[in-house]
Structure 1
Amino acid sequence: MRTKKWTEEYDVVIIGSGFAGLAAAIEAKEKGADVVVIEKMRTPGGNSAISGGLFAVAGSPLQTRDGIVDSPDLMHQDMLNAGMNLNHPELAQVVADQSLSALHWSIENLAVQYKENLNHLGGHSVPRTYTTKSGSGSGIIQPMLSKCRQLEIPIKIKTRLNRMISGANDRIEGIEVQSDYHFPHEQSGITQHIRAKKAVVLATGGFGSDVKFRLIQDPRLNNNIDTTNHKGATAEGLIAALEVGATPLQLCWIQLGPWASLDEKGWGVGSLFTLLAGFPYGIMVDAKTGKRFVNEMSDRRLRTDAMLLKDRAPVAIVDSQGVKYATTLDKCLKRGVVQAFDSIEELAKSNMIPEASLIETVRNYNMYLGHGCDTEFEKSLPKDLKPLTTPPYYSIRLLPKVHYCMGGIRINSKAQVLSVSEGLPIPGLYAAGEVTGGIHGASRLGSNSIVECIVFGRIAGVNAVAENENV
């Protein structure tokens, strides 16, 4: 698949304009390389821009301020526990070890602004999650785009990857693209060839919106299952890497988000409500029984499995004390995703929950808080957690949605893509972000995606520049 007719030439060619791709672009440019970013959609950012802006960091300044004892090793162990030890431990360790430096880089080099409180997400041993002031991933993407403009890094939108172009010794010399591409019309655009004199960095994200491809991996995930991903989260970047010999890794491990709302499409505004308020500061019950059925702070896989069992109708409930942590509350109420009630009885009636059973569930939960231990499900209890006694009470109906692909292509700790034949690096090819596999194992912890993308995006950018030039 070699070509001699190059439309354009750069030192480093980056495919994808989310957290990983832009981190790689910034690092490569600051190391002196001539860089280009290609993006198939009309606007840059992808899933990164619409994410919740949650950033897990071990040993952060906010943890020190709040007296929280944490370490990269503890974060690493949490990742392995959630991942059922299917993680490639050396990759997970890189993320944990470099989480703090990634945070400082985002603040000092990009001027990203974060809120002054930490969040405790399910599966994490301690509160370690930062949240952008904007309450979304755009709070990082926009500063990244500003940095790219400052560094004069071109971002070619509406440019779709067709294939990788290999040369001597199977080295990746560049890519074939469709410019002026109109998603999702595969035949649109003009074919061009972009040369990468040093390396290509693949950062195309996951395939959560690619029903055809995800059905191959998990036949249960058909059109009836919604996704939080944007429409462009498809598999062509992953497939292009497989075509040049990359190793597929754990592709069937596809995560559903347990916090998504039944009453809206996609990520919406309800997901952050549940993540930041409903689960940590409230309870989740089955509307058919009024009973809790899982630890609301367990990892995503455990909660999703429990929600889908026995045709349950999950509802998260929180009171006015816990709801103050919900950054999207006003939008949720306006759109009818969340409803407010003056009493538990009114909430039960509106959600068709057995009233007596729900009252008993809330009473038992409040008793557990008073004793400082959830003896029913062993939920971790934050220090500022208060009993569910202060109206108004808020409810959100939940439905798991396809959210994240733990599997992808295999990389090493240098972000080099490894071949399926010999397990050696494919010359001239790097990857970072959700298109890679092995970091999270069977289940990714919430807020571990942004840090992974930035850590390995930066690694890929630096090492791509150091790649031996093969002219």
Structure 2
Amino acid sequence: MRSCDRLGAKKMLTRNRIYPPAGETVDVVVVGAGGAGLAAAIEAAESGARVVLLEKNDAPGGSTAWSIGSVSASQTPHQRAQGIADTPEAHWEDMPGFAGDLADRDNDALRRILCDAMPDTFQWLLDSGIRFMGPMPEPPHRVPRMHNVLPNSRSFIYHLVRRARRCGVDIRVRARVTELVLEQDGVRGVLVECGGSAARRIDARGGVILAAGDFTNSPELKARFMGPQEAKVDAVNPTATGDGQRMAERCGARILNGDLALGPEIRFIAPAKENFVRRLPPWRSLAAVMQWSMKHLPDAILRPFLMKFLTTALAPALALFEDGALLVNTRGERFGDETDRPAYRLPDQPDGIGYIVIDGRIAERYSRWPHFISTAPGVAYAYLADYRRNRPDVYREAATIDGLAAMTGMDAGALGASIAGAAGPNALARAPFIALGPVRAVFVHSEGGLRVDEQHRVIDAGGQPIAGLFAAGSTGQGGLLLKGHGHHLAWAFASGRRAGRLATMAAKRTSGSETRAETA
């Protein structure tokens, strides 16, 4: 049976399903309390809607809370303070430079919406209490547009949750939406399980907004759109399981660009305990102090602080492998050419982890510019000494190969054979010998979102809007390509706000129709 036939059959079965009666009816239901869902809920509530925001996890956050926290925008106060003249039009023109050969798969109309919405959306974030450093340059942007949140990405969630509660959003956690209620006239509401209780129906007059993130941790969807090897790779956000995409497909929706993703890429395992930078409270006063410090304190004082962040959050540079670094598994065995997509092979190794092995020659090379272990564009660069100081849990150094094997638990014979087998001008021969790791393969985010129109309504296989169903953020990416730092979060906030307003307008139209019917 063809894919479209299967979806049509699912849609018919869903339409014929008998649902329980609604336990409550509100104006707007938002599924997912990450950046997009919070923005949608706030905008809907501030537009006069009664809003329920449902989050399956123990607390709001989603992938936004896992992010580095950059937002790209034009015409910001930060740009003006630096004398930078910029426009949404220029931003729109520059974004295809990130997409490269994939630019013809982009959704130009949604890209226009994103760029046009960001000046006001950035100010909206500032008005919510969120503070940024920047803007930072990132070619092919013609001017600096990347703004990095202070003190960390949890600031988004902290301030937006407070704003949501102030405007009356009903936030419910441990509330897993299991199904969309689809009747002949469209999506009427959701079925939700709260704390293990039986599914309860909540209807929405204006519509349901799906803002449940991407499917980077759904083996089923990754296998279908990317391939069986990609299906083995975990995600940075373990709860990004494509719930919104799956539920919408049962209603006839389509996923676009499901084969595109950031990853798999190699990343160091997270520290057992978060460092103090990730634990910093997202207070506005603290962010203001940090903002002042970024402008006025010398790099010698700022750099150690930034390194605490960089060595926790970022990936090792692949240039290490071009300079002779080896990737071995926990037994010390090399398992392929390190310059040929090594992250794809890591999941097949014991425990899915490996180690990057270097010698004294590479260690000396990666101790200064322009050779760095990790970077956040425009912010700072982390060298080998930064990892030795800030991440002793992923840094092992020994005078001999046997000594390094003993420190990491590898087989000395296997590690020695791996190093000996990589002969050539970049062979590892000079003490000391260093192992960086464990490292693992992860997906950071995927581009596979539901097809939506310019009003963020979910579109079915026949090209028609599914009544009562909206999508925002990664769930409603609609074919838009968001390469480059800061565009995924920008789309989350911009699309979430717009979807919230549009769903509220639909709720008011429905309420008006019901009032007129009662009067008649």
Superposed counterparts of 1:203-214, under 5 Å? 203-214=211-222
Q: C-alpha separation between the residues in 2 aligned to 1:289 and 1:105?
A: 47
Please say if 1:46 is aligned against 2:62: yes
Q: CA RMSD in A?
A: 4.3
* Structure 1 residue aligned with 2:471: 431
Q: C-alpha separation between the residues in 2 aligned to 1:42 and 1:128?
A: 34
Report the residue type matching 1:286 in the other structure: F
* Structure 2 residue aligned with 1:129: 146
* Structure 2 residue aligned with 1:236: 243
Deviation at 1:57, TM superposition (A): 1.0
Tell me which of 192, 195, 205 is aligned to 2:203. 195
* Structure 2 residue aligned with 1:79: 95
* Structure 2 residue aligned with 1:106: 125
Q: C-alpha separation between the residues in 1 aligned to 2:57 and 2:163?
A: 20
For 2:263, what is the secondary structure of its paired residue?
strand
Deviation at 1:356, TM superposition (A): 7.8
Structure 2, unmatched stretches of 5+, are 1-16, 279-306, 327-338, 347-354, 398-406, 408-418, 428-435, 515-520
Q: C-alpha separation between the residues in 1 aligned to 2:255 and 2:150?
A: 37
Deviation at 1:273, TM superposition (A): 2.2
Q: C-alpha separation between the residues in 2 aligned to 1:273 and 1:354?
A: 33
Superposed counterparts of 1:17-416, under 5 Å? 17-83=33-99, 84-85=102-103, 86-108=105-127, 110-115=128-133, 117-121=134-138, 124-136=141-153, 138-168=154-184, 170-181=185-196, 189-222=197-230, 224-230=232-238, 232-256=239-263, 258=265, 260-261=267-268, 273=310, 284-286=319-321, 289=324, 317=366, 319=368, 325=380, 333-336=389-392, 401-416=442-457
Q: TM-score, normalised by structure 2?
A: 0.66
* Structure 2 residue aligned with 1:344: none
Deviation at 1:111, TM superposition (A): 1.1
For 1:285, what is the secondary structure of its paired residue?
helix
Report the residue type matching 1:406 in the other structure: E
Q: C-alpha separation between the residues in 2 aligned to 1:140 and 1:290?
A: 38
Structure 1, unmatched stretches of 5+, are 182-188, 292-303, 342-349, 359-394
Indicate conservation of the 8 Å contact 2:266/2:343, yes or no: no
Deviation at 1:167, TM superposition (A): 2.8
For 1:40, what is the secondary structure of its paired residue?
coil
Indicate conservation of the 8 Å contact 1:272/1:327, yes or no: no
Give deviations 1:442-471, integer Å, cap 9, x for gaps.
Answer: x62221111101100000000001113175
Deviation at 1:71, TM superposition (A): 3.1
Please say if 1:457 is aligned against 2:511: no
Q: C-alpha separation between the residues in 1 aligned to 2:182 and 2:394?
A: 52
Q: C-alpha separation between the residues in 1 aligned to 2:175 and 2:160?
A: 20
Deviation at 1:420, TM superposition (A): 1.4
Tell me which of 419, 444, 450 is aligned to 2:460. 419
Instruction: Give the 3 Å change call, closer, same or farther, for CA 261–463 of structure 1 in structure 2.
Output: same
Indicate conservation of the 8 Å contact 1:38/1:160, yes or no: yes
For 1:260, what is the secondary structure of its paired residue?
strand
Indicate conservation of the 8 Å contact 1:75/1:96, yes or no: yes
Q: C-alpha separation between the residues in 1 aligned to 2:437 and 2:367?
A: 9
Instruction: Give the 3 Å change call, closer, same or farther, for CA 333–213 of structure 1 in structure 2.
Output: farther
Instruction: Give the 3 Å change call, closer, same or farther, for CA 278–91 of structure 1 in structure 2.
Output: same
Deviates more, 1:44-53 or 1:454-463: 44-53
Indicate conservation of the 8 Å contact 1:211/1:221, yes or no: no
Report the residue type matching 2:484 in the other structure: L
Deviation at 1:310, TM superposition (A): 11
For 1:96, what is the secondary structure of its paired residue?
helix
Report the residue type matching 2:392 in the other structure: G
Q: C-alpha separation between the residues in 1 aligned to 2:79 and 2:259?
A: 35
* Structure 2 residue aligned with 1:374: none
Report the residue type matching 1:45 in the other structure: G
Higher fraction of helix: 2
Instruction: Give the 3 Å change call, closer, same or farther, for CA 263–133 of structure 1 in structure 2.
Output: closer
Report the residue type matching 1:190 in the other structure: A
Instruction: Give the 3 Å change call, closer, same or farther, for CA 249–21 of structure 1 in structure 2.
Output: same
Instruction: Give the 3 Å change call, closer, same or farther, for CA 89–274 of structure 1 in structure 2.
Output: farther
Q: C-alpha separation between the residues in 1 aligned to 2:138 and 2:266?
A: 11
- Structure (1 or 2) with the larger CA radius of gyration: 2
